[in-house]
Structure 1
Amino acid sequence: MSDRLAAAQAALNGGRRDEAIGHLIAAIGDDPARPVQVYRTLTVQLYQAGRYEEGAAFGAKGLERFPRDFDLLNVRGVNLRKLKRLPEALAALEMATRVAPKNLGGLQNYGNVLLDLNEGAKAEGVFSRLVRIDPRNGEYQRQLGRALHKQNKLEPALVRFRQAVTVQPGLIDAWLDMVGILGEEHRTADAEAQLDRAIAANPGNARLLEGKTMVLRRTGQAARAEAFAREVLAAQPDAAWVHHQLGIMVSEQDRAAGNVLLRRAIALDPARIEYVTALIESLERTRSGDEGGHIEEGYQLAKTILHRSAEFTESVTKILCEIMIRVCDFDGLDQVGDFRTLGRGWAGSGRHTALLKQLARVRTDEDRRELLEQHRIWGRGVEVPASRRPIKRPPPRPPGGKVRLGFMSSDLRQHPVGYFALPLFDHVDHERFEVFVYSFYTGQEDAAQRHITERVTAYRWWPDISVAGAAEKIAEDQLDMLIELGGSTHMNKLEVMAYKPAPVQASWLGYPHSAGLEAIDYLVCDPITVPPERELLVEKPLMMPKSWIALGSRFFSNTVEIKEAPELRNGFITYGTANNPHKYTREVLQTWARVVAATPGSKFAFIRPEGSGESFRANILRQFAAEGVSADRVIFHVIRGAHMPFYNEVDITLDPFPLTGGTTTAETLWMGVPLISLIGPAFYERLSASIMTNSGIGDLAVNTLDDYLAAAVALAGNRERRLELRGSLRDRMRNGPLGQTDQFARDFYDMIYRTVRPAG
C-alpha cells in the first residue's frame, strides 16, 4: 500500500473523513490506475460527507476503468440523485441492477429514482419484487405504497403503509405517508386518529408530534394546533420544531412575536434549512417598523444557504426567489433556478402562489406557452384529487326565478380587489339577481366589508373552513354561476373551483393570468385585455364591452389632492414607479435607466417600502449606473400604504413589463400622472393599456421598446400635454368607462345574465 493510501486508511480509522478524502484524491491524482477499491472508498466517503458533485465526478472517473463495477455504479447513482440529476442517476442505477440483479440495495436505489421521476408503474414493479423477497421489510412496503400513490391507487397505497407500520411500528415515514394521503382525501378525523396511534407507538417522536400540529393547522383548526404545540412546548422547551411551528402560526397575527420564535428554532437547530427559510419568509412579509430592514435581514440569511442547492425543495426555492425579487438580486434569482424547472416544480407541488412571480420572467412566446402549461400542471394536480371525492349537492332548483350569482374572495374588504369590485355591490341588479359572497378572511371585519354585506343576498364568512367543505356549502346555495376574484393570494381558496360547486364558473380581477383549472369556464376580459392569440388563455373570454374594471367611488375619491407638477417646483422631470419589485427585471430597470439617461437633468423615484434596505438600493443604483445614471438621480420614497400623495412627486410614471401595473396604473392616472406602458400578447401584458385607453391616453401604450423610450422622452419634452393631463386625467377617468360605475354594473350583470340564461 502506498504512503497516501496508508495515510487515508489511518485517517479513516481515526474518524478524520475530510483528511482521508484528501489523501485518496491525491492518490488517484498520482496514479489513476489505482485498484477499484480506492475509487469505491473515495466515492462512498464523498457521499457521506455530502460532497455529491465530487462523488459523482470520481465515480465517473472510476467507471472509465471499471465500467461494470456495481459499487461504483450504485454510489454514482445515489450521488447524482442527491444532485437531482435524475436521468443520469437512473441510467447509472439501471446499469447497476443489470450488473448485480440480486443486490437488493441497488434495486431499492433504482426504485427510489423512479419514484423521484414520478414513474409510479415502473417503481411498483421494482418494489413489488422487493416485497416478495422480504415481505417483513417495512421500508419496501412503504416504497411500494408510494409507487401506488404516484398512480392514484390510494386505497392499495394505504394498505401498504398500514402493512409497513404493522411490521415496523417505528417507521415514521410510513405513518406520515399514510396521514398525507388521508389529508389529501380530506379525511381529517382519520388522519388525526392515525397520528394518535403513531404517537402511542412512538411516544415523544418529534416528527409525529409536529405532524399532528401541521394536520390541525392545515385543516383550519388553528386554535387546536396552537394549543397542542404549546402543550408540547411546556414539556419540551428546547424542541426546535415546536418553536418553528408556533412561529409560523403566531406570525400570521403578530410578525414580531412569530419572528422571535422562528429565530429560536434556528438557534436550537441551525442545520435545518426549512427553519432558516421560514424566518426569511416571515421577515419578507413583516410590514411593521423598518420593512426594508426586515427584507435586508431575510436577504442576508438567504445568501448563507444559496450554496446548499442539494437541499432545496419547492418550498425553499419559492421563498428564496421571493426574497431575491424584493431586493432585485437577479443573479441570485438565476442561481436559485431557471424559469421552466422552478415553475414546473412549484406547479407540481401545488404552489400556485409562486407562479405569480413567474409572469415577470416571461421573455418569449415559448415562455408564454410554458407559463400556461405550468398553470395547467397545477390545475391537473388539483382537479384529479377533486374528481375522486365529489361533493354532496342538493337537488336542482326549479327552472326560472332570479339568477343566483356568487362571488368568492377573501379580499372583498379594504383591499385592491375590493376597490375595483365595489361598483357591482353598489349597483346590484336586484330585479334579476340574488348575489352571494363567500369569504375565508381570518381578520376583523372592516367598513368596506360591512358596506358590501348590507347590499347582497348573503355574505358567507367561513374563516376556518376546508376547501372541500367550502365547495359543498357553496353548492348548497344552488348558484347559477360562481366567480372567483382572489386567485391563490393569501386566505383565498382557488381550489374550491375544482369541485365545480356551480354549473358555470369564471375568474375575474384577482389574478392576471388563467388560473389553470379546466373547471373555470370563463375569464372576464375587455377588448384591450383579451389576448389576440386566444390559446394564451385556458378559459373562454367573457367580454365586457369597454372595460373589465371600474373605479369604486368609495375608494377613488378626491381625498388626496393633486398638487402642482414637480417639474415646475424642481426644474427637472421626475419619472417614477410605485409598482412591486416582483414586476421588475434586468430589462425593466435597464429601460427605465435609459429613459432617464436620454432626458437631460431628469431623475427617477421609487415609491416603495423596500427603499430603506441597503441591498435593494445598491442593486437599483448598480443597474442605473450601468446606463450612465448617477446615484444622485435616483430617489427612494420609503412608504407603504399611504403612498398616494407621493404621486405628486412624479411627472411621468414608467410601467414595468411584461407584467404591467393594474392598481398602480389606476392610482397614477387618478393622481394626474401620465403613464408609458409596453403592450404584449398575453392578458397580463395588456392591463395598463386597457386602463389607459379607457382614460383617453391609449397612445401612450406602445408596442415596442424603442417606442417606449421614444414616447417617454417625447412626453417629457411636451410640458403642455403633461400639464393638461395633470389637470384632466381624474375627470377623464370619472366621466369615462372606468368611472361610470352604474353603467359598468349594468354591462356586467347583462353579460352574466346572457351567459347563464342565453336567449332561446
Structure 2
Amino acid sequence: MRPNFQRVFEQDRFQDIFEKGCLNLEAGQFAVAKNQFKSILRSKPNHSVTLGNLAICLRREGQSLVAKQMLERAVRASAINFHALSTLGNLCLDLRQFDEARQYIAMALKVAPDDPNANTNWGMLLMHDGELEKAKAAFERALELDPGHVHARTKLAICTRELAGTTEYVPEIDELTALVEQEPDNATAVAMLAHALGRDGRFSRGLVHAFHANTLKETGDSLAMLASYLCIMGEFEDSIPLYERSLELAPHQINNLKSYLFMSNYSNLIDGEGLYNLYRRIVDNIIEKRTKYTHRDHKKIAGRKIKIGYSSGDFRSHAVYFFVKEIFKSHERSNFEFFAYSNAQKEDEISEMLKQSFDHWVDVSKMSDEVMAQCIFDEGIDVLIDLAGHTNLDRLSVFAMRPAPVQISYLGYGYTTGLKEIDYFITDDNLTPAGSEPFFSETLLRVPAPAYSYQPPKKAYIDVAPLPALKNGYITFGTMSRLIRMNNDVLAVWKEILERVPNSRLRFDSRQLMDVETRELFRVRLMKAGIPAGCIELGVTETHWEGYHSLDISLDCWPHNMGTTILDSLWMGVPVVSKTDRPSMGRFGAAFMRPVGLGEYVVDDIPSYIEKAVALASDIPALAALRASLRGRMLASPFLQERLMSEKLETVYLEAMQKFEQGNRS
C-alpha cells in the first residue's frame, strides 16, 4: 500500500512535514518518515491519515503488531479512512486474523467499492475461504478497474492455477513476464517475477531479474531476495553485505531475517561463534513482543497421561516424514497423549498416514499465532516440540508466547532457534560434542546416539546397483545435495581430489539443475573454480534413489554437512566421506555414520578428507565390497530400530516435566 499523499492539513507547516514524510516513505527511508509522522502526531494525536502512513512505515520495517495498533487508531479516528481500512484488512490477512480481515476489507469496499486494492484483498480472503470462483471474479473486477494491477494479475494467475488443480507456476510467471515486457521499469512486477522464477526452479533467470529489481528500486525485500539467490548458487561472498543492507532498510522484516539466518547456516565465511552471534542479534527482531503465558498452576503429571504436542509445517510429503514416521507410530500410549499441531498448507496422503499415529490432530494452518497459542494452553499441553526451526512454515512466534511449560527444539532445523523461550535442544554427542553449549540458546539434552530415527520410503527398497567404476573404468565422485552447500572452499578441495585420482569424474545430481540455464550457469562456476569441463557431469535423475546407481563415492560438504542425503546414500550402497565442522549442522556426517560403524570415513580436517577420498577410490575391490555391505549395515543400525528413538524421547519428556515441577524451569 502506498502512502496517502492527499492534502490533509490547512496549516502549511503540517502539510509540508506530511508531504516530506510521504516522500521519504516512498523512497524507503522509513526511520526518517516515521519521525516526521510522529512529529505531527505529537500535536494531532488522532489524525487518521498520518496514523495510517506511520503504520505503513512500521509494516514495511516488519513491525506488524505495532502497525496494526496504529491502523486501529486510524480507523477509530475515521471509519471512512479507506487507506487505513484497506491496509488493516491486508495486514490481518498476513497475520492470519481472518475474521478481522473480513470485517475491515468489507468496510473498505463499502467506502470505495471500485478500488482495485480492496477488490484484490477481497479476492485473497475468498481464496483463503476456498471460494476460488468468487475469488477469481474479485481479481477480474480489480483488473477491470486497473488492468496493470500487479497483485491482482498474479493472484488471478494463482487462483486459475488452483482451479485447474495444478502446482505449476507457469501461468503466474507468464502473466508477470508479459507485464514486465509492457512495463520494464515496474520494480514491483520485476521483483515478483524474480521471486516466482525462483519458486519454479529457474534460478538463472530469477537471478537476472533480482539484479534488475535492485537497480530499479532498492528495498529490504529486493536486497534479501538477491542475497538469497546468490546463496542458493553457493556464492556467499556478496550475499552478506546485501543482507546487512536489507536489515538497515527493514530491520524487522521477518521473512528477510529468517532468510538471512537460514542461508548463513551454509556460509563458509562465518565460523560457529559468528553464526551464533548473528542468531542472537537477529532473533529478537524476528519475534515481536507478545504476552507470555505463565504455568504456576499447571496440573501435576502424577496420576495422568503427559500431554505431548508436536508442531510442524511438514506433516506432509517431506523429508521430515522419514525421520518421524516410526517415532510417532511407536510412541507409548498408556502414559502419554499425543497432539499434532499441523501447519501444513495442503494436506496429502502422508498427512493422512501420520494422523493415525496421533490421539489428536489440530490443523493450525489458518489460525493466528494468538489463537494457536491459546489452543495449546487451554489443552494443557505439558511438552511442546518444535520440528521446524526457522523454516518457511514454522510457528516460533507461538513458542515465544510460551503456551506450554516445557518447550523443546528437535529434528526439523538442526540448529539453535536462538529463542530463549525454548528450553531444550535434543541432540547427541556426535552432533554436539562437549564444548558445543556456547553455540545454543537452549540447554542441550543429549540422548544416546543416534538422536534420530530413519525409515526409507517403500520406493527406496530397490536393489543396490553394482559399483559403477567396474563398468566405467573410472571413479565417479558426486553429490545429490543442493547447490547451496557447494561453496568455493568445498569446490577447491574437490578439485584437488579429482587431480589426485586419474580420470575421475565429479557428478552433481540435483533437481536444481533441471533448468537448462541454471545448469549452464553452474557449469561455468565449476570451470571458474578450476574443475576441468571433461570431469564434470551435471544431471537430474528422475527417481532420486536411482541417482545413486551412478555414484561410486559421495562427497560431503561443509560447514553445513548434507542431511538426509547421507542416510539415503548409505542405504543405496554409496559410502560418504565427511568432514566435521561447527555444531550441529556441520556434524551430521558424524551423527549419521558413526552409529552405522562408518566413523573411519568422518574426519576433522581437509588433508584427512582428501586422503580418505583418494584412498577409497584407489582400491576398487574394497570399494565394491563396502558398497555391498552398506544396506545390511543400515538395516542392522539403531536408525531402523522402530521403538528405540520413541523410548529415548519419552524418557526426555518425562524428565523435563519432572524438572519443571521441581521448580528448575519456570
Query: In the alignment, what sits opposite 1:98?
Result: none
Query: Contact 1:590–1:624 (CA<8 Å) still a contact in 2?
Result: no
Match of 1:595 among 487, 497, 500: 497
Question: Please, which moves more after superposition, 733-742 or 646-655?
Answer: 733-742
User: How far 1:107 moved relative to its partner?
Assistant: 9.0
1:706 and 1:107 map into 2 onto residues whose CA distance is 63
Q: Mapping of 1:660-699 within 5 angstroms?
A: 660-699=561-600
2:383 and 2:31 map into 1 onto residues whose CA distance is 39
For structure 1, the residue ranges without an aligned partner over 5 or more in a row are 1-101
Query: In the alignment, what sits opposite 2:215?
Result: 307
Question: Please, which moves more after superposition, 404-413 or 184-193?
Answer: 184-193
1:634 and 1:200 map into 2 onto residues whose CA distance is 62
Q: Mapping of 1:453-464 within 5 angstroms?
A: 453-464=355-366
Match of 2:262 among 356, 360, 378: 356
Query: In the alignment, what sits opposite 1:71?
Result: none
2:344 and 2:375 map into 1 onto residues whose CA distance is 16
User: How far 1:235 moved relative to its partner?
Assistant: 6.3
Q: Mapping of 1:94-243 within 5 angstroms?
A: 105=16, 109=20, 127=37, 129-131=39-41, 140-142=50-52, 157-158=70-71, 161-162=74-75, 169=81, 172=83, 174-176=84-86, 178-179=88-89, 188-214=98-124, 216=125, 221-224=128-131, 227-234=134-141, 236-237=143-144, 238-241=147-150, 242-243=152-153
Q: Mapping of 1:367-446 within 5 angstroms?
A: 367-381=274-288, 384=289, 386-387=290-291, 396=299, 399-446=302-349
Query: Contact 2:210–2:222 (CA<8 Å) still a contact in 1?
Result: no
1:345 and 1:636 map into 2 onto residues whose CA distance is 39
Query: Contact 2:450–2:639 (CA<8 Å) still a contact in 1?
Result: yes
Match of 2:193 among 279, 282, 288: 279
Query: Contact 2:95–2:368 (CA<8 Å) still a contact in 1?
Result: no
Task: Give the TM-score of the pair, scaled to structure 1.
Answer: 0.74
1:493 is aligned with what amino acid? R
| Higher gyration radius (CA) | 1
Bigger relative contact order, structure 1 or 2, given CA contacts below 8 A and separation 6+? 2
2:184 and 2:24 map into 1 onto residues whose CA distance is 29
2:167 is aligned with what amino acid? D
1:450 and 1:185 map into 2 onto residues whose CA distance is 27
The alignment partner of 2:372 has SS state of helix
Residues 370 and 654 (structure 1), Cα distance of their counterparts in 2 relative to 1, 3 Å cut: same
Query: Contact 1:360–1:583 (CA<8 Å) still a contact in 2?
Result: yes
Query: Contact 2:262–2:390 (CA<8 Å) still a contact in 1?
Result: no
Q: Deviations over 1:439-482 (max 9, x none)?
A: 23243431x43433223322334553333333333334322111
Task: Give the TM-score of the pair, scaled to structure 2.
Answer: 0.83
The alignment partner of 1:223 has SS state of coil
1:409 is aligned with what amino acid? S
1:152 and 1:656 map into 2 onto residues whose CA distance is 40
Residues 402 and 347 (structure 1), Cα distance of their counterparts in 2 relative to 1, 3 Å cut: farther
2:102 and 2:296 map into 1 onto residues whose CA distance is 27
User: How far 1:113 moved relative to its partner?
Assistant: 6.9
Match of 2:437 among 534, 554, 572: 534
Residues 132 and 715 (structure 1), Cα distance of their counterparts in 2 relative to 1, 3 Å cut: closer
The alignment partner of 2:407 has SS state of strand
Query: Contact 1:393–1:472 (CA<8 Å) still a contact in 2?
Result: no
Residues 463 and 669 (structure 1), Cα distance of their counterparts in 2 relative to 1, 3 Å cut: same
Q: Does 1:604 align with 2:604?
A: no
Query: In the alignment, what sits opposite 1:548?
Result: 451
User: How far 1:353 moved relative to its partner?
Assistant: 4.8
Query: Contact 1:406–1:482 (CA<8 Å) still a contact in 2?
Result: yes
1:119 and 1:281 map into 2 onto residues whose CA distance is 27
Query: In the alignment, what sits opposite 1:566?
Result: 468
Query: In the alignment, what sits opposite 1:745?
Result: 646
Aligned length: 635
Query: In the alignment, what sits opposite 2:225?
Result: 319
User: How far 1:595 moved relative to its partner?
Assistant: 1.8
1:346 and 1:158 map into 2 onto residues whose CA distance is 19
Query: Contact 2:64–2:91 (CA<8 Å) still a contact in 1?
Result: no
Q: Deviations over 1:324-355 (max 9, x none)?
A: 44555x38x82794454457878721116523
Once the two structures are aligned, what percentage of the paired residues are identical? 22
Residues 353 and 635 (structure 1), Cα distance of their counterparts in 2 relative to 1, 3 Å cut: same
User: How far 1:726 moved relative to its partner?
Assistant: 0.7
Query: Contact 2:52–2:71 (CA<8 Å) still a contact in 1?
Result: no
Query: In the alignment, what sits opposite 1:50?
Result: none
Match of 2:628 among 727, 742, 745: 727
Query: Contact 2:508–2:538 (CA<8 Å) still a contact in 1?
Result: yes
The alignment partner of 2:470 has SS state of helix
Q: Does 1:636 align with 2:538?
A: yes
User: How far 1:527 moved relative to its partner?
Assistant: 0.8
The alignment partner of 1:606 has SS state of strand
Q: Does 1:452 align with 2:354?
A: yes
Query: Contact 1:243–1:264 (CA<8 Å) still a contact in 2?
Result: no
The alignment partner of 2:287 has SS state of helix
Residues 279 and 418 (structure 1), Cα distance of their counterparts in 2 relative to 1, 3 Å cut: same
Query: Contact 2:276–2:440 (CA<8 Å) still a contact in 1?
Result: no
Query: Contact 1:597–1:627 (CA<8 Å) still a contact in 2?
Result: no
Query: In the alignment, what sits opposite 2:388?
Result: 486
Query: Contact 1:326–1:610 (CA<8 Å) still a contact in 2?
Result: no
1:393 and 1:187 map into 2 onto residues whose CA distance is 29
1:601 and 1:151 map into 2 onto residues whose CA distance is 57
The alignment partner of 1:316 has SS state of helix
User: How far 1:378 moved relative to its partner?
Assistant: 4.4
Q: Does 1:700 align with 2:613?
A: no
Q: Deviations over 1:47-84 (max 9, x none)?
A: xxxxxxxxxxxxxxxxxxxxxxxxxxxxxxxxxxxxxx
Residues 686 and 268 (structure 1), Cα distance of their counterparts in 2 relative to 1, 3 Å cut: same
User: How far 1:434 moved relative to its partner?
Assistant: 1.5
Residues 234 and 145 (structure 1), Cα distance of their counterparts in 2 relative to 1, 3 Å cut: closer
For structure 2, the residue ranges without an aligned partner over 5 or more in a row are 1-12
Q: Mapping of 1:80-95 within 5 angstroms?
A: none
Residues 144 and 742 (structure 1), Cα distance of their counterparts in 2 relative to 1, 3 Å cut: closer
User: How far 1:743 moved relative to its partner?
Assistant: 2.1
2:213 is aligned with what amino acid? I
